[in-house]
């Protein structure tokens, strides 16, 4: 059995976080500058089968069979074996490495799952279709977040800009003109499960108000999809600003996020908003390519612990 390698990109949510949990559409894009990689190697000469996981970045060096039932990587590996109706894997080691910052809204957990699922299935001689890879990665996301919408595993699996609604067919967005985003990290860790829980509680207390906010955000996602498909980048910035205002009203922004969002706008961004669960984590700014370095520098001066510039390329014919 030869080695088998698979990779998966990071991701960032452009529009619609939180509202997507309540059935509204959201939009996310792959961040290809950062990646997770899984390499599966056979352990020749070992008497017993089994999968060994090696992930030095999270201090993991263990057999899948020795991990707790709900360990995310064990859920991913067992999911592959169950799907392939394999009771046991031949002895092998899965090396996991990633350049995606952990727990910062860049899809690190989904990307590691997708890379592991693809590499293991390929190693076992049965590469899985994207739909199955995404479905298995969704099971892992549930371990992390409780009630995820499924947008992270979807965008990371397909590695294309997606327009995503729960229970609706996935749409890949054809991008007419490339866009450049600067991502700024507050450095504040804010588990997505907690912000999703806080929004749920607020929604239960004020259902009418929150339903209106979710709908307004879903409407922005729709308009943003149109703008991306038409290459109308000037319209996209103000839509991001509006989405940020709604997220503030929803109570998921924070002083640190607001400082970075305002600073990006002052430095010439076309629009800016928090991205992901909020109350920490990342914000994004839409910029003209020539302004990316200036906006990035301003964000670091305003307290961003790191910044990342990513370009979403225009869709080529037939892609």
Query: For binding to ligand PMV (CB under 6 A), which residues are involved?
Result: 13, 17-18, 20-21, 105, 145, 148-149, 151-152, 192, 196, 276-277, 281
Q: Single out the catalytic residue among 130, 152, 232, 291.
A: 152
Please state, in angstroms and rounded to a whole number, the distance separating the CA atoms of residues 315 and 171: 14
Long-range contacts of 292-297 (CB under 8 A, 24+ apart): 292/180, 292/182, 294/267, 294/268, 295/182, 295/264, 295/267, 295/268, 295/269, 296/182, 296/184, 297/267
Q: H helices of 107-150, where? A: 108-123, 130-145
Q: Write the CA distances from 125 to 7, 58, 72, 81, 192, integer angstroms.
A: 17, 28, 23, 12, 35
Please state, in angstroms and rounded to a whole number, the distance separating the CA atoms of residues 194 and 279: 10
CA dihedral 135, 190, 54, 36 (to 10 degrees): 60
CB 162, CB 28: distance < 8 Å: yes
Q: Which residue's CB atom is positioned nearest to ligand PMV?
A: 276
CB 179, CB 236: distance < 8 Å: yes
Note if 185 is an active site residue.
no
- Of 277, 234, 317, 287, the closest CA to residue 20 belongs to 277
Residues annotated as catalytic are: 152
């Amino acid at each position: 059995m030869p080695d088998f390698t698979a990779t998966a990109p990071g991701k960032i949510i452009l529009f619609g976080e939180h509202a997507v949990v309540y059935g509204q559409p959201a939009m996310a894009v792959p961040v290809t500058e950062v990646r997770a990689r899984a390499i599966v190697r056979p352990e020749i000469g070992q008497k017993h089968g089994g999968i060994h996981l090696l992930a030095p970045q999270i201090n993991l060096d263990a057999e899948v069979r020795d991990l707790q039932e709900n360990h995310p990587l064990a859920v991913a590996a067992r999911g592959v074996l169950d799907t392939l109706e394999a009771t046991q894997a031949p002895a092998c080691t899965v090396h996991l490495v990633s350049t995606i910052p952990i727990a910062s809204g860049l899809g690190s957990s989904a990307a590691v799952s997708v890379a592991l699922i693809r590499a293991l299935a390929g190693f076992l001689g049965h590469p899985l279709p994207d739909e199955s890879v995404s479905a298995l990665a969704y099971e892992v996301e549930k371990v992390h977040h409780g009630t995820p919408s499924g947008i992270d595993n979807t965008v990371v699996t397909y590695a294309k800009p997606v327009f995503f609604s729960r229970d609706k067919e996935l749409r890949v967005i054809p991008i007419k003109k490339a866009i450049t985003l600067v991502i700024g990290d507050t450095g504040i860790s804010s588990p997505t499960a907690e912000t999703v829980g806080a929004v749920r509680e607020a929604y239960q207390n004020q259902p009418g108000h929150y339903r209106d906010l979710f709908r307004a955000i879903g409407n922005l996602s729709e308009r943003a999809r149109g703008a991306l498909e038409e290459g109308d980048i000037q319209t996209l910035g103000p839509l991001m600003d509006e989405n940020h205002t709604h997220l503030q009203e929803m109570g998921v922004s924070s002083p640190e996020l607001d400082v970075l969002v305002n600073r990006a706008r002052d430095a010439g961004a076309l629009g800016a908003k928090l991205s992901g669960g909020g109350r920490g984590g990342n914000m994004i700014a839409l910029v003209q390519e020539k302004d990316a370095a200036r906006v990035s520098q301003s964000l670091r001066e305003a307290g961003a612990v790191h910044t990342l510039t990513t370009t979403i390329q225009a869709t080529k014919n037939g892609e």
